[in-house]
Amino acid sequence: MTEDPYGTVSFVRFGLDRRELRKDMDIEMIVSILDWMMERFQDALLTAELDPGLFRRQGELAEKKEARIQQFLAVLQRAIGASPASSARRGDQPR
C-alpha cells in the first residue's frame, strides 16, 4: 500500500489498535472496503445535493439525508467493526 492520499491506512491501523475493527480481515481489504464504499457514498450524497431532482421528484429532506448517513455507518460497522461481544469479553469500553 504505497498510495494513500486520504490516510485510510493510518485510520484503519488506529481502529485496529483500539480494537474497534475486525482482526480476522486483512488490513488491505478493510482499507479497500472503506475507500470504495466512502467514494460511492460521497458521490451519491453530492449528486443528490447538486441535482436534487435527478433521482427524486423533490429534494431530499435533511432528516432523510441524516438517516441515510446513519444507515451507511451501521452497514460499515457490521461489515468491518469488531463484534460488541468480543470487545465486551476483553473488557473494552465502547467509545
pLDDT tens digit sequence for 27-79: 999 999 999 999 999 998 888 888 877 766 565 577 888 999 999 999 999 99
Q: Write down the pTM of the prediction.
A: 0.73
3-state secondary structure 41-71: HHHHHHHHHHCCCCCCCCCCCHHHHHHHHHH
- Domain boundary assignment for the chain: 8-89
